[in-house]
Amino acid sequence: MKTYDVIVVGGGPGGYVAAIKASQLGSKVALIEGDRIGGVCLNYGCIPTKTLLRSAKLYQDLMISESFGIDIENLSDVKINWDNLMKRKDTVVNKIVGGVEQLVKYNKIDVFKGYGHATDAHTVVVGEETLSAKNLILATGSSVLIPSIPGIDDAVTAGYVIDSTGAIKLPKQPNSITILGGGVIAIEFATLFNSLGTKVTILQRSDTILKNLDADVRTTIQRHLTDTGVEIVTNSSISRVDNGTVHYTHEGKELSVTSDIILASLGRTPNLKGFEPLGIKVDKRGVVVDEHMQTNVKGVYAIGDMCGKMMLAHVASAEGIVAAEAIHGDKTSINYHKVPSCIYSFPEVGVIGYSEEAAIEAGYDVGTSMFPLSANGKAVAEGETTGFVKIVHDKKYGEVIGVHIVASHATDMIAEAAVSMELEGTIYDIAKTVHPHPTLSEIVMEAAHGAVDKPIHIIKR
């Protein structure tokens, strides 16, 4: 039996970060991973999809190059080389995974390949190895949830229905794709395939896509997707799947759509198998933890998707650091209302804190201010004028309690809001902060001016 101070089960963005932090704090650490270091995010999620989206954006830009004064004699000569698209994706993924593997090695972490299972709160078996430790950090992630729909299992077996992992491994570009669901992953893949010329249909059960986001955000993104050719069917109820055909009900009518591929994007479920002997408490979202990521079992911590709080890579990493610090006596925590979320659509979305609706429901005296990209010089110069910044604030003190950005670089811009909210910043603080010109970041300042009084560069009556 090999003995450690900390055993981390799962080498995704939560697990490997927790392992590195624990090692940096002086612990002897073992890391167990059944696949490649980096987990779903680095290998099958965040990194590969964003790599493919970059290629899609470049292709899209080439198609409108004439409007930027660049003539391509025959646009039909601009071809998508699917094999090379995938090769570049694999190259990027392998480079980043290799870098993380070097970080793990540098921090003197022992890596065990395989799927671990716990026999008690201090013992984990992986393959033929039995490991013992004072503390255990579970970071096993989540898996795609395949809904119980008549015919869907047969369609999966036949290769018609795929999940997000299958979508980044397709051997060729589909002519058409039907996406089941209207959440973040669904919208990113709709953006990717639509931009590359694939016919995209989204079937969403509720009355809107991105239903948990601010109304102005989801309305803008839904309208933009529709305007660019994506067919979005809301209030739809799927009745069955027959190979490449999805049968559904909409407004009392029985309808169907047939496509080359069906992408099931209806959520994820925590991976909990193998840890039943621990007796850890689980609710409908996943493992129940306290603010320091400790479960009801002393010395056993859980982080990332398996907790089901916010299934985001950067949240898992932050939780991994909290767990490692808690083990070493530093009781830190995360305020989830101050954690940003991103969507890598065209345009991008970056949000943090309360939506306007949620803030009102929470009892705040809510004030809001919006500033459009169409009034920003950099956005006009770049030809990316769809979007806005919306600041939600508490009128009592002017504290910023939510920021919602739709813009070409929203996923980078939202970090400014995150810092401001972490410091309990106000609309007055942001308005007084001099922003560089010309940049998209100026619209954050302008929205703050609008909340305080009036913005400079639009007429507010």
CATH number of the domain where residue 437 is located: 3.30.390.30
The verdict on 284 and 228 lying in the same domain is: no
Range of the domain at 402: 339-452
Domain boundary among 318, 334, 350: 334
What integer pLDDT is reported at residue 354 of this predicted model?
Answer: 97
pLDDT digits (tens, 9 = 90+) for 87-127: 999 999 999 999 999 999 999 999 999 999 999 999 999 99
Does a structural domain hold residue 459?
no
Contact status, residue 118 vs residue 280, Cβ threshold 8 Å:
no
Instruction: Please state the rounded mean pLDDT for residues 186-198.
Output: 97
Distance between CA atoms of residues 205 and 171, nearest Å: 30
Distance between CA atoms of residues 219 and 221, nearest Å: 6
The verdict on 229 and 322 lying in the same domain is: no
pTM comes to 0.94
Q: What is the pLDDT confidence band of residue 454, given thresholds at 50, 70 and 90?
A: confident
The verdict on 71 and 202 lying in the same domain is: no
406 has a pLDDT exceeding 80? yes
The verdict on 23 and 138 lying in the same domain is: yes
Single out the residue of 138, 136, 137, 125 nearest to residue 1, CA to CA: 125
Q: What percent of the chain has pLDDT over 70?
A: 100
3-class state of residue 377 by DSSP:
helix
What integer pLDDT is reported at residue 455 of this predicted model?
Answer: 85
Q: 365: buried, middle or exposed (CB in 10 Å: 19+, 13-18, 0-12)?
A: exposed
Q: What is the pLDDT confidence band of residue 458, given thresholds at 50, 70 and 90?
A: confident
369 has a pLDDT exceeding 80? yes
Q: Which residues are catalytic?
A: 437
Does a structural domain hold residue 295?
yes
400 has a pLDDT exceeding 70? yes
pLDDT digits (tens, 9 = 90+) for 63-89: 999 999 999 999 988 999 999 999 999
335 has a pLDDT exceeding 70? yes
What integer pLDDT is reported at residue 461 of this predicted model?
Answer: 66
The verdict on 276 and 238 lying in the same domain is: no
Q: What is the domain count for the chain?
A: 3
pLDDT digits (tens, 9 = 90+) for 420-451: 999 999 999 999 999 999 999 999 999 999 99
pLDDT digits (tens, 9 = 90+) for 230-242: 999 999 999 999 9
The verdict on 161 and 257 lying in the same domain is: yes
The verdict on 257 and 297 lying in the same domain is: no
pLDDT digits (tens, 9 = 90+) for 245-264: 999 999 999 999 999 999 99
141 has a pLDDT exceeding 90? yes
Distance between CA atoms of residues 129 and 113, nearest Å: 10
Instruction: Give me the CATH number covering residue 322.
Output: 3.50.50.60
| Residue bearing tokens 């650091």 | 321
216 has a pLDDT exceeding 70? yes
Cis peptide before 347 (omega within 30 of 0): yes
Domain boundary among 293, 319, 334: 334
Q: What is the pLDDT confidence band of residue 54, given thresholds at 50, 70 and 90?
A: very high
314 has a pLDDT exceeding 70? yes
Distance between CA atoms of residues 55 and 60, nearest Å: 9
Instruction: Please state the rounded mean pLDDT for residues 18-27.
Output: 98
